[in-house]
Structure 1
Amino acid sequence: MLSKLNDGNKIVGTKQVKRAVLNGDVDIVFIAKDAENKVTRDIEKLCNEKSVDIIYVNTMKELGNACGIEVSAASAALLK
C-alpha cells in the first residue's frame, strides 16, 4: 500500500492532509508512528470522524521516502 504514495495522486504534510480530510478529498491517510502525538492527534481524530482509513508507517523517514521526497514526513494521504 505504501508504494501507491510514489505513484498516486497524493499530498504530504500535516496541514495539507488535515485540510483534505476536512474537505472529504482523501481515500487513505498515512501517519508515521514516530511522529509527535501533538502533530498527528488532530488528523487521527478527523479520520475517525470522517471514517477515513489510517495506515501507520514505522518512521517519518520511511514515509518521506515512500512519498518521493528527501525529507521526513509525519503524514501523507492518497487523494480520491
Structure 2
Amino acid sequence: MLDDLKHYKKVVGVKQSTKAIENGIVAKVFIAKDCEQRVVRGIIELCEKQSLPITYVDSMKQLGKACGIEVEAAVACILK
C-alpha cells in the first residue's frame, strides 16, 4: 500500500494535505501513527466528513521514506 505513494501523484505534509482534502482532489490518506494527534486531528475530521479512507503507517520516518523524501512526514495523500 505504501508503494502507491511512489507511483501516483501525491501531496506531503499537513498544510498541503488539508488543502487537497478541502478541494476534493484526494483519493487516499496516509497518517503516521507516531505523530502528535493535535497535528492531524483536523485532517482526520475532514476525512471522516468526506468518507476518505485513512491508512495508518507505523512511523513518520517510514512515511517520509515511502514518499521519497529524506525527512519525516506526518501525513501524505494520493491525489485523484
TM-score calculated relative to the size of structure 2: 0.98
The answer to whether the aligner puts 1:71 opposite 2:63 as a matched pair is: no
Between Structure 1 and Structure 2, how many residues are aligned?
Answer: 80
Report the counterpart of residue 49 of structure 2 in structure 1: 49
1:5 aligned to 2:5?
yes
User: What's the CA shift for 1:6?
Assistant: 1.1
Cα RMSD (Å): 0.4
Please give the per-residue CA displacement for 1:24-78, whole angstroms capped at 9, x wherever unaligned.
0000000000000110100000000011100000000000000000000000000
Aligned-pair distance for 1:7?
Answer: 1.5
**Percentage identity across paired residues of the two chains:** 54
Counterparts of 2:53 and 2:64 in 1: how far apart (Å)?
A: 19
User: C-alpha separation between the residues in 1 aligned to 2:16 and 2:39?
Assistant: 13
Partners of 1:71 and 1:31 in 2: how far apart? 15
Match of 1:26 in 2: 26
The list of structure 1 runs, each at least 4 consecutive aligned residues, that deviate by more than 3 angstroms after superposition, is none
Specify the SS of the correspondent of 1:78: strand
